[in-house]
Amino acid sequence: MRPLQMVDLKQQYQKIKTEIDAAVLGVLESTAFINGPAVQRFAAALAQYNGAKHVIPCANGTDALQIAMMALDLQPGDEVITPSFTYIATTEVIALLRLTPVFVDVDPKTFCIDPAAIEKAITPKTKAIVPVHLYGQAANMDEIMRIASAHNLYVVEDNAQAIGCDYTMKNGGVRKTGSIGTIGTTSFFPSKNLGGYGDGGAIMTNDDALAEKLRMIANHGQKVRYYHEMVGCNSRLDTLQAAVLEIKLNHLDEYINARRSVADYYDKAFANHPAITTPFRAGYCRHVFHQYTLILEGIDRNGLHDYLAARNVPSMIYYPVPAHRQRMFEAFGSAATNLANTDWLTERVISLPMHTELDEEQLHFITSQVLNYCNQ
């Protein structure tokens, strides 16, 4: 059996090596390392794929969030509603910009921000909602967009974990996550569903004026070179990454299907086990399984992690400390916030290996080991 990994980038690379190597060598030959032709080609292809009018490539998913938030002209102290049950980047950029993160609870089934909790957290200072499509499943965007429009709030979708996720709106229209809110952001970190061979990110919007502003902010606030109209930053997707991503985007749907097959296998193996809850699949979207995350009840979760590790089966806790309990946010008094579902999930979730290269022998081994522990 091939050794198990949370993500197997090597095996995936081997399958597209000829294409990738040629593209990378092409960039080296051209020496167009910054803003080479592949960058705009990839941005256009991603806009087409995602059904977004504009895609602005940038250096990573954290920058994408920061630039998105900078473009909204928020003032220090303005409140931004976000889940605590997420990767730190989502919440960190809010504080970095001197805005106030307001942490709300998640729906324990979808792991995503709970619309009812958003409504309760709105104050006259609230300016934006930042939902996270966690583990590859969309937050309830119909509800979030309804609340946002009723209260005149911006919506920035953190789509770092759900690129390619189809969302069926209440009116029947199908949209990709990241193209529903005011702005969507994503990451091309190597382990993401569309991962480069280094860092990368992108911002997307359907709003022309906002797109121009996002582009300027990512480029030192300039539209015309050396004329800086606003304070921005320097955040670029480099050409080598764009060349890799251009190829991998063509495989994204096939990668999503491979992930979904792994999830189906896991679902079947764990079905009806009284202590294991397999991932809920919301009817409004097609889960792209960035992670496959179980909820364990009445089982020593850390014990399972160690048991698996001893048998060379990796597993991960995403995330061991929710944002509102991080020291980073002490000054916001966030630890006092009562987020019962977030705390409950934090104690019980465990993610199993999930990638495009898992075969049946590996899946059989992983699921047998998990069940051995849970049945002992």
Of the candidates 176, 192, 213, 248, the residue annotated as catalytic is 192
**Which span (21-29, 59-67, 103-111, 251-259) binds ligand PLP, by CB under 6 A?**
59-67
- Binding residue for ligand PLP, selected from 12, 50, 62, 315, defined by CB under 6 A: 62
Of 109, 170, 111, residue with least CA distance to 141? 170
Tell me how crowded residue 84 is: count the other CB atoms within 10 A of its CB: 28
SS3 of residue 79 by DSSP: strand
Using DSSP bridges, classify how beta strands 126-129 and 100-104 pair: parallel, antiparallel or unpaired: unpaired
- Binding residue for ligand PLP, selected from 82, 161, 182, 346, defined by CB under 6 A: 161
**N-term to C-term CA, the chain:** 25
Contact 134, 160 (CB under 8 A): no
Give the whole-angstrom CA distance, residue 158 versus residue 181.
10
Nearest distance from C-beta of residue 189 to ligand PLP, angstroms: 4
Using DSSP bridges, classify how beta strands 166-168 and 174-176 pair: parallel, antiparallel or unpaired: antiparallel
Q: Which residue is nearest to ligand PLP (CB)?
A: 61
Give whichever of 241 and 362 is closer to ligand PLP, judged by the CB atom.
241
User: Which positions from 16 through 35 interact with ligand PLP, judged by CB under 6 A?
Assistant: none
Sign of CA dihedral 86, 103, 70, 115: positive
> Taking CB under 6 A as the rule, does residue 241 contact ligand PLP?
no
User: Which positions from 109 through 138 interact with ligand PLP, judged by CB under 6 A?
Assistant: 132
Site string for ligand PLP, 178-197 (x = CB under 6 A): ---------x-x--------
Number of residues that bind ligand PLP (CB under 6 A): 15
Contact 93, 135 (CB under 8 A): no
- Binding residue for ligand PLP, selected from 92, 105, 157, 158, defined by CB under 6 A: 158
Nearest distance from C-beta of residue 360 to ligand PLP, angstroms: 28
Distances (CA, A) of 376 to 259, 304, 363, 369: 29, 11, 20, 11
192 is catalytic: yes
User: Which positions from 65 through 104 interact with ligand PLP, judged by CB under 6 A?
Assistant: 86-87, 89-90
Give the whole-angstrom CA distance, residue 152 versus residue 94.
19
- Binding residue for ligand PLP, selected from 61, 83, 131, 184, defined by CB under 6 A: 61
Which residues carry out catalysis?
Answer: 192
Residues near ligand PLP (CB under 6 A) are 60-62, 86-87, 89-90, 132, 158, 160-161, 187, 189, 199, 201
